[in-house]
Amino acid sequence: MEMTLRERYSKMMNFERPDKPFIWTFPIRKATMDEWLKQGHPEGVRTEELLGYDWFDSLPLVTGHWPRFERVIVEEKDGHITYYDEEGALKIEGVDAQGSGFVTRKWLKFPVENREDFIRMKEERYNPEDMNRRVEGFDEAIARSHTGNRPFMVVIQGFYWTMRQWLGFENLSMAFYDMPDLIDEMMDFILEYNVRLLEKHLKGARVDCLMINEDMAYKTAMMVSPSIFREKFIPRYRELANAARENGVDLVFTDSDGHVKELVPLLAEAGVEGLSPVEIASEQRLEDLADANPGFRFLGGLDKRVLSRTKADVEREVVSKAKYMYNRGGWIPAVDHAVPADAKLENFKYMIELVKECW
């Protein structure tokens, strides 16, 4: 009997071998699809269905701040737009970049500048039990989490991710040293908020993967020191991971771009079991991370940059890596973040064909 997609995913994540691989990638963004339509991609057809790869089912639930901030345009000038976004931040970006998903932005102001702003933020927009967080189809998704063919993923906003949205990268970086008490208060609240969110809304669900969004590394290192992570993040991560398992979650993953060599063992120590997307441009090799962290799971790690080059480049990137990681186990093949707008549709199709052939 042919396995379900969920059974394939589960076996691969448990270092076993299903009949076929579960293959995934981030949803195709608008800027990429606009180019692919010119290259022959049928309009209105999911790329997953067109090329025969997979996707996760999900829970229609707002897990971050709610209600969202109103988007307010402040100025449009010289091809740029200055506006307050749905996160409450003031920023500027190119008019032609709006909605593309691939944008260079400049942030001018953030919604939290002091403890009073934080108190207002949590009181006004972080009620985990607000039933309006449940989007249409919520009850059906809970039922489908038990009976559906696809693995079920729930995404929440982690400690670093949330604080960076509140304060901004530079302000947050300094706050670890200048305002450690406020950092502790914020992190305790984020822990309590997420635990209550899971308890309220995951009741009755079967969740294969909880993805905790963090994005806490850049090209060569983590955005916080390992010592700060060990002191402030690990104890709270353990509590969050334990609460997730108590509420129907099988595996706990963290999502972080950037160089994660130091981050992965710390996450494992904190009770996290996997990481996505393993960005290869950040001076790291998926195989090295896998060797250094046996038993840890990875989702991603196929270098997106080769998709704009030749088929030979795609083959060099995929074949040896896929064979190595399939043999090791604990890996879902996927591009190491969103497929860029300059990616060739034929190259992406070839990448999917290769990860199937390598099985």
pLDDT value, residue 101: 66
Between the CA of residue 93 and those of 6, 55, 74, 83, 101, what are the distances in Å?
Answer: 40, 31, 12, 9, 12
28, 41, 317, 344 from 306: Cα distances, Å = 16, 19, 7, 9
Which string of DSSP letters, residue by residue, matches 3-42? PPHHHHHHHHHTT---SS-----PPPPHHHHHHHHHTTPP
Q: Which amino acid is at 70?
A: E
| Phi, psi values for residue 213, rounded to 5° | -70, 130
> What is the distance between the alpha carbons of residues 300 and 39, in angstroms, rounded to a whole number?
25
> Within 10 A of 204 (CB to CB), how many other CB atoms are there?
12
- pLDDT at position 94 is 87
* Per-residue pLDDT at 98: 60
Quote the pLDDT of residue 50: 98
Q: What is the pLDDT of residue 327?
A: 98
Architecture of the 5-65+127-357 domain:
Alpha-Beta Barrel (3.20)
d(C-alpha 255, C-alpha 215), whole Å: 6
Query: Rounded to 10 degrees, what is the CA torsion of 172, 176, 178, 183?
Result: 80
What pLDDT shows up at residue 180? 97
Residue-wise DSSP of 102-159: ----EEEE-S-SSHHHHHHHHHHH--TT-GGGB-TTHHHHHHHHHH-SS-EEEEEE-H
Q: With beta carbons less than 8 A apart as the criterion, state whether 176 and 224 touch.
A: yes
The pairing of strands 72-77 and 249-256 is: unpaired
Please tell me the predicted confidence (pLDDT) of residue 100: 66
Query: What tens-digit pLDDT sequence spans the chain (359 residues)?
Result: 899 999 999 999 999 999 999 999 999 999 999 999 999 999 999 999 999 999 999 999 999 999 999 999 999 998 899 999 999 999 999 887 666 666 778 999 999 999 999 999 999 999 999 999 999 999 999 999 999 999 999 999 999 999 999 999 999 999 999 999 999 999 999 999 999 999 999 989 999 999 999 999 999 999 999 999 999 999 999 999 999 999 999 999 999 999 999 999 999 999 999 999 999 999 999 999 999 999 999 999 999 999 999 999 999 999 999 999 999 999 999 999 999 999 999 999 999 999 999 99
Bridge partners, residue 217, by sequence:
222
Q: What is the C-alpha separation between 52 and 273, in angstroms, rounded?
A: 27
- The answer for residues whose C-beta is within 8 angstroms of residue 52's C-beta and 6 or more apart is 352, 356
Q: What are phi and psi of 74, to 5 degrees?
A: -95, -40
In the chain, where are the structural domains located? Answer: 5-65+127-357
